[in-house]
Structure 1
Amino acid sequence: MSLNHILHSPALGLLLTLLCYTAFVWLKGRWKWRFIHPLMYASGAIMLILLLSGIDSEAYKIGGDWISWGLGPATVALAVPLYKHAPVIRSKLGAVLTGITVGSVLSAAATAYLLASAGASADIVYSAIAKSSSAPFSIEIASRLGGIPELAAAFSVLTGLFGSLAGPAFLRLCGIKSDIPIGAAVGTGSHGIGTARLMADSELQGSVSGFSMAFAGIVTSIMMIPIYWIQ
């Protein structure tokens, strides 16, 4: 098998993703550096390798899509810890739903206001307005409103990465230490990436975050209906 064939093989995308992520997970565990976020550093390393090596990005995407396919079962698997902690979440359901709804509305409104104030075009605003929702929600919302789906996906991923990296620390700095508010805040603002981050620390936080992520996506989608109508 030639080197050119290997560099353009879809399997390379899968192997490269797994190696980079595993390497940074090992580094984080080895040195206990809190600032090492495996997903963020692995993403940066992959982009750097692709730029320097000249590996075909389309070939990498095919292999990377195998990883994306696994996100479906992984997301569904969040129902297991959610079921385990359902009584605890149910006891605070009113507060959780209120927090998710308010957070989703404020996130969209603040994003639209800041971008519009900075002179951003309508398609940029519509691409970013649902950034706190998971990528499937934000991509579909952007395409319906006239935004740029690819840009919406980028905004969503970057929001999730930043929220998962800084969110828990910021909440602790604000004096918020209870599992339910932390889970609700991170799930509402940082969707699946933030949920995965919390699940590594606390199953209860991850469960609340997974629930919040799903409900925030529903709230954001419903909230965009009037905007779609008045366009």
Structure 2
Amino acid sequence: MNDLMMQSLFFGVMISIAMYELGVWCKRKTKIALLNPLLFSIAAVIIILLVCHIDYDTYNNGAKYLSYLLTPATVCLAVPLYEQFELLKKNIRAIMAGIVSGALTSVTCVLVLSMLFKLSHAEYVTLLPKSITTAIGMGISEELGGVVTITVAVIIITGVFGNITAEFICKLFRIEEPIAKGIAIGSASHAVGTAKAMELGEIEGAMSSLSIAVSGLITVVLSMIYAGIY
């Protein structure tokens, strides 16, 4: 099986996309939140690699090309924001305050929990960019001396968790303002959470898209500062 995958440049891409589409189908049919397509595809690919005895490096030789789409996919999130630009201008102060608060809360929680569980400095900086998009988070982790592969895993888990729980948490705390929902989801769970925000409404999706970019930039600065604290 390893030989087959090595001979086919895009076999890893095919498996990844096929499992994601299967996850989308399962989610649509069952309506079960835990069957998030991204989470489903990750688990399915891991099982396939283990059962077929396929090396990760062999699989990644093809699947890595999906990573090139991360940046353009993130940029495309500017479209819904452009459509709600007037709303953004009217509420710019509240929106910026919300995004800054979200980014600050994220890195502070990582700091407190790292001290509580006595994590090493490398483990600590690995977790700092957990709530921002992968494209930015990988760069921060590498720059600060973290473990990039674990950072990617943590970012994905954070996004999937936000996607699954966002609607429930908003209902639990009676958050009904669309702008507040979008800012909270985007600041906490980046692009994966934004997919849920877009399901909730156009305003939620636009504000969540804005949060991805702005909170990413703010987290870059905060991570450099917080890295020297612990």
State TM-score, norm by structure 1: 0.90
TM-fit CA distance, 1:58? 1.7
Correspondence 1:31-180 to 2 at 5 A: 31-180=30-179
In the alignment, the residues of structure 1 paired with residue 224 and residue 56 of structure 2 have an alpha-carbon distance, to the nearest angstrom, of: 35
Counterparts of 2:146 and 2:3, CA distance in 1: 37
- C-alpha distance in structure 1 between counterparts of 2:65 and 2:224, whole Å: 33
Q: Which runs of 5+ in 1 are unaligned?
A: none
CA shift, 1:28, in A, is: 1.7
Q: Would you say the 8 A contact 1:139–1:152 is kept in 2? A: yes
Change over 3 Å in CA distance of 1:155–1:35 after alignment to 2: closer
Please name the residue that 2:11 is paired with. Answer: 12
Distance in 1, matches of 2:56 and 2:189, equals 27
Instruction: Write the distance in 2 (CA, Å) between the matches of 1:20 and 1:101.
Output: 36
Residue 28 of structure 2 corresponds to which residue in structure 1?
29
Letter in 2 for 1:130: P
Distance 1:227 1:5 in 2: 45
Per-residue deviation, residues 90-127 of structure 1 (Å, max 9, x unmatched)? 22211111011011111101111112111111111111
Uncovered stretches (5+) of structure 2, i.e. residues with no partner: none
What secondary structure does 1:60 align onto? helix
Higher relative contact order (CA 8 A, sep 6+): 2
CA distance in 2, matches of 1:152, 1:127: 5
Query: Percent of counterpart pairs with the same letter?
Result: 30
CA change 1:4–1:133 in 2 (3 A) is closer
Query: Does the 8 Å contact 1:89/1:180 carry over to 2?
Result: no
Query: Judging changes above 3 Å, is the alpha-carbon distance between structure 1 residues 139 and 73 closer, same or farther for their aligned structure 2 residues?
Result: closer
| Offset, 1:148 | 2.0
Tell me the amino acid that sits aligned with residue 221 of structure 2. I
Structure 2: distance between partners of 1:219 and 1:61: 31
CA displacement, residues 52-102 of structure 1 (integer Å, 9 cap, x when unaligned): 111232232132222222223222211111101111122221111101101
Shift of 1:222: 1.5
CA contact (8 A) 1:10 1:61 kept: no
Count of residue pairs brought into register by the alignment? 229
The structure-2 alpha-carbon separation of the partners of 1:7 and 1:120, relative to structure 1 and needing over 3 Å to count, comes to same
Q: Which amino acid aligns with 2:147?
A: I
Q: Distance in 1 between matches of 2:141 and 2:72?
A: 25
TM-score (norm 2): 0.91
Query: Do 2:185 and 2:194's aligned partners in 1 also have CA atoms closer than 8 Å?
Result: yes
Cα distance in 2 between the residues matched to 1:131 and 1:176: 24
Determine if contact 1:183/1:207 at 8 Å carries over to the other structure.
yes
Report deviation, 1:204: 2.1
The code of the aligned residue for 1:7 comes to M
Shift of 1:227: 4.2
Secondary structure, counterpart of 2:10 in structure 1? helix
Q: Secondary structure at the match of 1:10?
A: coil
- In 1, Cα distance between the equivalents of 2:199 and 2:65? 23
